[in-house]
Amino acid sequence: MSILVDKNTRLLVQGITGKSGAFHAKSCMEYGTNVVAGVTPARGGEVFEGKVPVFDTVHEARRETGCNASMIFVPAEFAADSILEAVDAGVELVICITEGIPVLDMMKVKAAMAKSASRLIGPNCPGIITPGQCKIGIMPGYIHKPGKVGVVSRSGTLTYEAVWQLSSRGHGQSTCVGIGGDPINGTSHLDVVKMFNDDPGTEAIIMIGEIGGTAEEEAAEWLGKNCKKPVAAFIAGATAPPGRRMGHAGAIVSGGKGTAQGKIEALEAAGIEVAATPADMADALLRRMAR
């Protein structure tokens, strides 16, 4: 079992003929993901890699192929529009990899999506993977292995680090979800940990957060009250100076809010094992599981 994606996922790639879109669509196909369609406006009728039909619009792609998830590689200027197009076409799961979308654009997307049943993952995220079944995104597939630990994170490379630690200690993953480093995103830590809690295939959870906002605190509070599965966490940015944006637009401590210390306290109060360093993520989970 897993959450959100599995071998039945039928993937559409928006921006499939672009440089990174093509590269990663291909790498997802090589992993075994069922890529059924691509969209690039004005390139409809082409065939990608000898087997994937390209359409001009998401509506056509959805109608012709029954795609139920979309991976977006459209440049930041046009990405908000692409998300809305996928949502309008009724695609159930929209994963936006694109980095650098203006906050005001995402604010409108989020407000518009409140009325829809679609779920957005990202933007500015590595994507989502259910090892051995379906990879949607830019993560290196080979570090993952099928198993029972759910991983949710705002950061791409830090997720790889956690996955690597787990895999090399013999622990596979149920699903790994990168929710993205932007201040406004489609799916929160809380949304994902709720799904992990409900998933019989997930027996333990690693949650990776970073400074800024209050999403980790909200997830911690819910986990403390509702989750019986062992949870470990790491918060990046304990040494980041306030008021400076640390790469991710969302990673900023302002007005004394969103500090690593505050987040760590909330996590510990909820009975979550907090990794002292990024080298300690998998071991922290193993300690928590042994308790």
Partner 1 sequence: MNIHEYQAKELLDQFGVANSPGGVASTPTEAEKVARSMGSNNLVVKAQIHAGGRGKGTFTSGFKGGVQLCKTPSEVRNLAEQMLGQTLVTHQTGPEGRVVRKVLVSESVEISRELYFAILIDRAISAPMIVASTEGGVDIETVAEKSPEKIIRMPIDPLLGLQPYHTRKLAKMLRFAPGDMRAACKLFTNLYKLFIARDCSMVEVNPLVVTMGGEVLALDAKFNFDDNALYRHPEIQAYRDIEEEDPREVEASKFNLSYIGLDGNIACLVNGAGLAMATMDIIKHNGGEPANFLDVGGGATEQQVTEAFKILVADKRVKAILVNIFGGIMKCDIIAQGIINAVKAVNLPVPLVVRLEGTNVEAGRQLLAESGLQLTTATDIADAAKKVVAAVA
From 28-36, 53-61, 99-107, 169-177, give the range in contact with partner 1 by CB under 8 A: 99-107
List the one residue from 155, 187, 197, 202 that touches partner 1 (CB under 8 A). 155
Nearer to partner 1, 177 or 246 (CB): 246
C-alpha distances out from residue 44 to 16, 76, 77, Å: 11, 22, 21
Binding residues for partner 1, total number by CB under 8 A: 63
> Is 157 among the residues that bind partner 1 (CB under 8 A)?
yes
Burial of 129 (0-12, 13-18, 19+ CB in 10 A): buried
Q: Cα 258 from chain centroid?
A: 21
SS3 call for 158: helix
Which candidate, 48, 87, 71, places its Cα nearest to that of 137? 71
248: annotated active-site residue:
yes
List the one residue from 77, 226, 242, 261 that touches partner 1 (CB under 8 A). 77
Which candidate, 149, 270, 163, places its Cα nearest to that of 202? 149
Which candidate, 29, 9, 188, places its Cα nearest to that of 91? 9
Which candidate, 244, 240, 229, 157, places its Cα nearest to that of 199? 229
> Is 108 among the residues that bind partner 1 (CB under 8 A)?
yes
Q: Cα 122 from chain centroid?
A: 6
> Binders of partner 1 among 230-259, rule CB under 8 A?
234, 236-241, 244-251, 255-256
> Is 111 among the residues that bind partner 1 (CB under 8 A)?
yes
Nearer to partner 1, 98 or 130 (CB): 98
> Is 100 among the residues that bind partner 1 (CB under 8 A)?
yes
Nearer to partner 1, 25 or 61 (CB): 25
Q: Which residues bind partner 1 (CB under 8 A)?
A: 20, 24, 76-77, 100-108, 110-112, 126, 138-140, 143, 153-161, 164, 181, 183-184, 208, 210-214, 234, 236-241, 244-251, 255-256, 260, 276-280
Residues acting as catalytic residues: 248
